[in-house]
Structure 1
């Protein structure tokens, strides 16, 4: 454990040193003293990184390296100077962290799995597998479970349409197995016999069968 911690520390030091070396070379080409460079020099260096298309995390790493070696500006570290803070805020907006739009998991595989046991046939699904019918359903927030913003009288309701916008008859038939409206209608029908409240999700086990789920149970 100690060896691992020391190795991580060494790696962090090497990373800082490498970025500091880049800054040293940049300052050397401009005959500027690295550990006493001005705010203007620092901002010019950071701007060049932005212009080169460097990631925001990389720019933050360079700034951290400079802060570790620079004498600072008055009683503030390099990264605490107001102009540097404003620059980094602007760089953060200009260079947002990119996230993949396509999920890493296979959506078709998930939908295919939902078309078979234990999700289908839906009429025979165990109650513990139900979650969020036949043309449309409306959902309104339960004020006992939502934050303060949703307790206002102008809270809108959500409308879910029936899932029928598939091309071929085979696709439409298969698409029904992924329809939330259908699932909610079946869930409502199957809980009607023991439901004691109008809350959507109710307990299916004794001794609370038919009663609204508690916050803890809903979370679980």
Structure 2
């Protein structure tokens, strides 16, 4: 793997023909991209110069070299694959979580740090086996020790310790209960005082996890939502690559170095809110400086405040789309008559009405269930109450405002209404029709399920649920003959719903309770938009309903 496989006897042989799987280092033509292979070839030539009359590398023909020759000439084969995420989770639950993928790409890696065979954008460089691994690494691998390794000088990520998950004994803990550091300068394992699970890709400064067992560490790492951990991992990957280009250790670099990285992002047009995500991701893995974490450092706080003044956050003041126009479209075919409408349009209409009526995040809507303990129709037909799945963990844990039930009143027409338009927009009516239409195909208790294809009846993903809401808005604009405004997102329903509620006199406390916001500042700074006419769903959404 590291160089040509040559067997040379100490007999008086003066002409030797080497038949390695790769002759690029032995011959001048073609060259070689592997520094390790070139170094090995140089050692071979130096040894052969005083002993042999000639040394020549020849091509190794036949099936014995077919695979190696194919990879060296054409690169990795097409159709790259990787393990299913569920399989990876099962492996990691038994052997511990890996932090470095040795042979991967940006599309196939399961770790924030990886080596690649062809992509120069990989954080740790090319070809893991071409790196100067110490001789005793095989012994560490056999014992199942989690090892830290410093890539060599001049390579991306130089000076950055990495954790490689090997098949462990006793669930990933070495016999000594310590980390074995593979240091390039010494070339052998040195037991350190760091625990076996403290390494580069571990979230949180190393001192905080000192002495923690693997199960405790896993619990601590789950303090953040999976989506947050994914965002942090992606931001950290970019920071590691930036540090690698400059030969800086991303774990213990200075605060001015981090500020230089943030300034480069600001110069590229990143907003202050984006920079805050990078700071949080770096702070989760950096050892800290001056007795505090990166996010709490005074210079970092001043930098973020200065970035906000230089590039103020554009607060939305105009609704992203016209609610009145969209609701008019929901009262027309193909959304109505609801009893004879295609399930595709019934699904989209129900999703949009629930999103507007509740001001909930898409994750909250996704967690709704039709199981008897989570769905209760009022005996008198006055409405319905929905609870999220008991296993659902909301994005923001805000105490009493988390996992609040969603109570919807059923519209009862009166002579003063003048038409059936309010009844056509009743969320309870659409919900009951949707549940009845999907009852025969359900294989999941989740409220929203797939209505076609091989996944028919199975739980719908959050991304697809967001698409349903946007598709309903888009089709309503199409029915009116007007173009859809750019940048319409499912999340905009929270802004429009809460702004209409505020216009009707609903208190900010009730609005925050409905939207699961901790303070009214969140609404006033990020969600409040200018709406000028009465709420089209005002008959259905009263102050009491909005507060729940």
The reply to whether TM is greater than 0.5 is: no
Which of the pair has the greater relative contact order for Cα pairs under 8 Å at 6+ separation? 1
Q: TM-score, normalised by structure 1?
A: 0.44
Q: TM-score, normalised by structure 2?
A: 0.18
